[in-house]
Amino acid sequence: MGDNMKHFAITPLAAFGILAGAVPAARAADTPCTTTISSGTTINGNLTVPAGAICTLANVTVTGNVQVGKGAVLIVIPSGGQTVTIGGNVQAAQRQTVSFPGTDGAISVGGSVQIQSCTAGSGYNAPGATLTISGNFACDHNSGGCFAEGGSVRGNVQVNNNSNGGGLGADVGGNNVGGNVQVNNNSGSSASIVSRNTIGGNLQCAGNTPGVTDIGVPNTVTGTKQGQCVGANF
């Protein structure tokens, strides 16, 4: 087993150990969000989306972390030169959806983004915006599929165990990733997409049904290609 293979294995706990506190947040009262914040507000501390609430961030700075409650919705959508800056991490599990549909603004996350067990499609799709995640991006066990399109992730990208009976289980395209990319065990009505990415580490695809495709535009991978993403077309 070569060095690249030895260093590829990434478990969610290892990859996202940063979530435990590598990005400190000011200890202030958490600020709840149940509406749209677009006034250029700065929130000193953590932002929470209460269970069942809908929060839209359009033009806001959060110095701490963003925590999304059960069954809640978080939409990060700056436009017209607006900016959303999150100094810490974004964490969401058992939510309805968490999405970053950037248009022409800028989104910056100083920590990592972890989206898990959402009931609708979740992730980021920001080809018209500037989206930067300084840590890792993990999107797994979502029943509406997961998308990671048009972002810059300095750490690792993991898109695993997502399902979507009406479309793609995973769509990972047009990203600049400093670390490794895993696209494993996603299922949908058509092949998952892994396309147009520039990857500083390794690319691993395994267990995706009915398969995986680069839609004719291959990836640039510094490390090794493994599993379903082996071959000239990837």
| pLDDT tens-digit readout, 156-182 | 999 999 999 889 999 999 999 999 999
pLDDT of residue 51: 94
> What whole-number distance in Å separates Cα of residue 74 and Cα of residue 89?
14
Of 169, 165, 178, residue with least CA distance to 221: 178
> What is the pLDDT at residue 79?
84
Q: What is the pLDDT of residue 234?
A: 82
Helices (H), 45-128: none
Residues (pLDDT < 50) of the chain are 1-21, 25-26
CA dihedral over 224, 229, 233, 234, signed as positive or negative:
negative
Say what the pLDDT of residue 26 is: 43
Q: Which residues pair with 132 in a beta bridge?
A: 108, 152
Tokens read off for 107: 């989104």
At 123 the pLDDT is 95
Q: What is the pLDDT of residue 27?
A: 55
Name the token pair of 152: 């810059």
User: Buried (b) or exposed (e) across 201-232, using 16+ Cβ within 10 A?
Assistant: bbbbbeebeeebbbeeebbebebbbbbbbeee
How far is Cα 142 from Cα 30, in angstroms, rounded to an integer?
Answer: 27
- For 156, counting Cβ atoms within 10 Å of its Cβ (0-12 exposed, 13-18 middle, 19+ buried), the class is buried
As a whole number of angstroms, the distance between CA 115 and CA 137 comes to 8
Contact 204, 10 (CB under 8 A): no
